[in-house]
Amino acid sequence: MSRQGLQPTQTWRLLYRLPLLLAHALLLPVALLAYLPGVRRLPTHGQMLRARVHRWWVRRLLAICGVELSIEGQLPLGGSLVVANHVSWLDILLIHAQRPVWLVAKAEIAHWPVVGPLARLAGTLFIERGDSRSRQKVQRTMTALLKCGDTVGVFPEAGIPGPPKVGRFHSRLLGSAIRARVGVVPMAIRYRDPSTGANAHDIAVFGPGTGFLANAIRILSYPRLRAEVMVAEPLTHLEIGREGLARQARQVIENFYVA
């Protein structure tokens, strides 16, 4: 979005997409019925009802936002810790578009409009930055969930780099995978313009100093984005420790991201 404001075509896209977003949001109470005990585990086309409805609702939300989804690979069955690079708030939806995931996120997201309430409903684990007690509590919860066979996701960069690159991976939260004896799954995320194939990082990025509302308007007023997601094979050599796992996961993601 320029300093002069939105162009006419951008305004029309907003006028088209915002009512669709509102209508989709109104379907949320109906979708939440699939989360009720005794209902969520009902089988439907090879999936539990909760997972199928969850996946449909998130993918429809991405489509309304003008985001095309391209996924290479798939998440393994059973407990696993997904580690992904971080570009945009859309990354949260990209992970949930594959299956229900317990995603660790900074506590500020809980107060964002629209995204905050959705994150709470999806089962996000909010962590206070720089608070050791908050981190330890989240780590214990992560370990318990992984041992129960759930999928947990983290963004180990602990922030969003402004430039198009993969930042340093912090390893503290990866210790939960070692304690639960589950694999670490690297997941690479990048954004392109589907009409030209050019990198669309500058459109999607939610970098330092960027407000959520301004970023959301920029994305919603853009013609289309293609979100490319690569799910790698799990890293299972847990004896290399959390630092080793962080380095290996970052290298796998960087190899895809810069290609």
Higher pLDDT among residues 161 and 234, named by residue = 234
Give the pLDDT confidence of 12-39 residue by residue, as tens digits: 999 999 999 999 988 888 887 777 766 6
3, pLDDT greater than 50: no
Burial class (CB in 10 A: 0-12, 13-18, 19+), 72: exposed
Q: What is the pLDDT of residue 15?
A: 93
Q: Is the pLDDT of residue 117 over 90?
A: no
Average pLDDT of the chain, as a whole number: 88
Of residues 65 and 39, more confidently modeled: 65
Residue range 222-226: mean pLDDT, rounded: 96
- Rounded to an integer, what distance in angstroms lies between the CA atom of residue 167 and that of residue 193? 23
Tens of pLDDT, residues 156-174: 997 787 778 899 999 999 9
Instruction: Select the more confidently predicted residue: 6 or 190.
Output: 190
DSSP 121-176: HTT-EEE-TT-HHHHHHHHHHHHHHHHTT-EEEE-TTSS--SSSS--PPP-GGGHH
Contact predicate 166/254, CB 8 Å: yes
Looking at residue 34, its pLDDT comes to 75
pLDDT at 143 > cutoff 60: yes
Which structural domains are found in the chain, ordered by start?
8-257 (3.40.1130)
> What is the chain's alpha carbon radius of gyration, rounded to the nearest angstrom?
18
153 contacts 98 by C-beta, under 8 angstroms: no
For residue 148, pLDDT beyond 80? yes
- The pLDDT, as a whole number, for residue 38 is 66
Distances (CA, A) of 188 to 3, 91, 216: 32, 10, 22
